[in-house]
Amino acid sequence: MLHYTHQDGLTKPCPRCNKVSDRVLTAKLRRGEGIVYHCPSCDLGFLDGKAFDVKAFYESEYRKSVSHKADHAATHAQEMFDIYSRFQSQRLKHILPYISAETELLELGSSSGQFLHHLQGKTQRLCAIELDLDCCDFMAQNFEFEISSDFFSDSPFADQTFDIVCSFQVLEHTPDPVAFLKDVHTALKPGGRAFIEVPNLYDPLLNTWKVPSYNQFYYHAEHLFYFSQKSLKQACLDAGFHEEAMQICFTQDYNLLNHLHWIMNDGPQGTCEIGLSDIKIDGQDPDLSLWLTNQLSALNEAYIKKLQETGQTSNLLIELVKEQ
């Protein structure tokens, strides 16, 4: 069940359907100021916050304010790459079956190349759009990608088409998600496939376990929209994809121990790596350590399956096929 409140005087029209909503998902953000509303007919969360210049912001400011560490320390392209390149297996599992030596692939918002580098040597072309100039420099120094720091329509890729277009945790940052998905549609060859991943509005820590401080952790100023299965599909329909050519996968990034930590401590673990890694318990007794590791791993697997069955995973990954 989605958790929201009504607060005196707080209403805002839904940017998609224009109906006025008084459902406040939060009035307190992790960073910055703003109010997140929920539109019941679109099942869409939307931020009423300060308008800002998206391109100028991501060119320089973003990495200073965002960090993978709970203490908000500044982070760099190399550091991000070192951490997140290890946790790309779910995305790869979905995309690798469609990769061949002829594949031309474009990633929108590639960050420091932590996903894309896994495909090096497996395709004909790997193209990256990334607004953060530090990340572009890092990719240019380390990889053979074709890189642009412009929006798709201003980039050298604007008049080209691709077999695969992917974008992870980017759509929710864009001021006009339908326009972004129209670019994805334009960038695909007929019969081409897109993979778009966003945080799930029905995140289990938020809605099922109702962890008080997770609310302020989940909602932040750079996320302009929060999608559910319904609103993500609707945005793709609005952008020209066909209903029968879209499939939602419920994907879970953090493990059971991370969730238990939040539930019991009402706060995050010290780093993201523990919660994203396979569960491994190391003690003085190797047999007991192995037994506990195996028991917890099996329970973790069953837990994630349960979250998927009930649509309550941390992320949604939608697979879209462009009409022939």
Nearer to Zn ion, 39 or 47 (CB): 39
Output the smallest distance, CB 228 to Zn ion, in A.
Answer: 12
CB of 17 to Zn ion, least distance (A): 3
**DSSP letter string, 208-229:** TS--HHHHHHH--TT--EEE-H
* Piece of 5-13, 36-44, 122-130, 233-241 that binds Zn ion (CB under 5 A): 36-44
Distance CA 119, CA 39 (A): 39
Q: Do strands 315-321 and 246-251 pair parallel, antiparallel, or not at all (unpaired)?
A: antiparallel
**Segment interacting with Zn ion (CB under 5 A) among 8-16, 148-156, 160-168, 275-283:** 8-16
Contacts of residues 297-305 at CB distance under 8 Å and 24 or more positions apart, as own/partner, are: 299/256, 300/255, 300/256, 300/257, 303/256, 303/259, 304/252, 304/255, 304/256
What's the closest the beta carbon of residue 13 comes to Zn ion, in angstroms? 8
Q: In the complex with Zn ion, which residue's Cβ is closer, 167 or 228?
A: 228
Please select the residue that binds Zn ion; options are 29, 35, 39, 198, rule is CB under 5 A: 39
Answer yes or no: are the C-beta atoms of 25 and 39 closer than 8 Å: no
Under the criterion CB under 5 A, does residue 16 sit at the interface with Zn ion?
yes
> Under the criterion CB under 5 A, does residue 42 sit at the interface with Zn ion?
yes
Regarding 237 and contact with Zn ion (CB under 5 A), the answer is: no
Within 192-231, the residues that bind Zn ion by CB under 5 A are: none
- Position among 2, 10, 14, 158 found at the interface with Zn ion (CB under 5 A): 14
User: Is position 116 an interface residue for Zn ion (rule: CB under 5 A)?
Assistant: no
- CB closer to Zn ion out of 39 and 296: 39
Nearer to Zn ion, 41 or 60 (CB): 41
The answer to whether the beta carbons of residues 171 and 180 sit under 8 Å apart is yes
Q: Is 20 a binder of Zn ion (CB under 5 A)?
A: no
Report how many residues bind Zn ion under the rule CB under 5 A: 6
Give the angle subtended at the CA of 91 by the CAs of 89 and 95, to the nearest 5°. 115
Nearest to 16 by CA among 49, 40, 52: 40
38 lies in the site for Zn ion, by CB under 5 A: no
Tell the residue number behind the tokens 């890694």, with chain if given. 277
Question: In this complex, which beta carbon is closest to Zn ion, that of residue 14 or of residue 246?
Answer: 14
**Is there a contact between 227 and 235 (Cβ–Cβ < 8 Å)?**
yes
Q: What are the residues binding Zn ion (CB under 5 A)?
A: 14, 16-17, 39, 41-42
